[in-house]
Amino acid sequence: MPDLIEDYVHSYYTENRPLGSLSVYNVGSQKCTPGFQWGPGVRDHYLLHHVLSGKGYFTTRGKTYSLKMGDTFLIYPNMEACYRADEEEPWAYTWVGFAGTDAFYLLNHTDFSEESPVLEQAALSGEIEQKIMQVYEAKGNTFYDAVAMTGALYSMIAVLMENSTADAKQKNLQTGRVEQAIRYIEEHYSYPISIEDIAGYTGVCRSYLYRMFQKILKMSPKDYVEEYRIRQACRLLRETDMPVTAIAHSVGYEDNLYFSKAFKKCKGKTPTRYRKSDASEE
């Protein structure tokens, strides 16, 4: 990482995110000025920070963590958070932001959780720093660059998975059921699947599936299916010239009018307007 004596910011924000499974949104490092603060605010993606030197404070869910060199903290999508550099020994950190369908699975096999978003693993500090640096060094907006950055990110997460505790490696049956359900949705979203179909595949009743989704994902199975379908529709609107009706059918909507209403409810605009306006910024 860069020299830690002078204040600095080195960052890279990707414009091209072609990989739905896992894509890097941003990556960089910063030596903060005393008291430098971000937030309170929310992100629409996962954002992992690793402390290289100095001290700082991370606040989320009503709790403030005092962090030092070697500590790592993770901000989850839509999690309100705030972080601030110490006044006397302001921290330097490196970070990587990412999202994708694999992110939830992978992070559930580390020691991170929304209830416990901080890891104190000083022994891994050098390795985590090196892995994030590899993401940064692979930066670029070609498809090759995106794959290279994602590969480096997978490698970094693998380090956290390998060094997780026994309890985290056996994260409970509920998480496994939800992962099963999500895989089924990803493989069958283009068909008219029902919640009963998903529950039957995972071997639980509908009400139990609902409770698991609410507990782990903070949404119902029905909302997850709709959100996933709209996400796939956005991709097709951006990347293809398919008619809106064909896209609706491709992502599991038999009624084009219902698709348009669901899309507008989620994105605030119709599919046609989305395609013509700022879809490239999503």
Query: Nearest 5°: phi and psi at 138?
Result: -90, 5
Whether the CB-CB separation of 219 and 227 falls below 8 Å is answered with yes
Whether the CB-CB separation of 85 and 34 falls below 8 Å is answered with yes
Considering the entire predicted model, what is its pTM? Answer: 0.62
The pLDDT value given to residue 177 = 81
Q: Which of 12-21, 99-108, 157-166, 241-250 is modeled with the greatest confidence?
A: 241-250
Q: Assign 5 a pLDDT band (cuts: 50, 70, 90).
A: very low
The pLDDT value given to residue 280 = 47
Average pLDDT over residues 262-271: 91
Counting Cα atoms < 13 Å in the Cβ hemisphere of 31 gives 10
Q: Assign 65 a pLDDT band (cuts: 50, 70, 90).
A: very high
Largest CA distance in the chain: 61
Catalogue all structural domains in the chain, each as residue range(s) with its CATH number.
8-168 (2.60.120.280), 173-277 (1.10.10.60)
Nearest to 28 by CA among 97, 118, 127: 97
> How big is the chain by its Cα radius of gyration, in Å?
20
Q: Bigger pLDDT: 60 or 6?
A: 60
Instruction: Indicate the burial class of 155 (C-beta count within 10 angstroms; 0-12, 13-18, 19 or more).
Output: middle
**In angstroms, how far is CA 100 from the centroid of its own chain?**
6
Residue 2 in this model has a pLDDT that exceeds 60: no
For 162, the 3-state DSSP assignment is helix
Residue 142 in this model has a pLDDT that exceeds 70: yes
Residue 41 in this model has a pLDDT that exceeds 50: yes
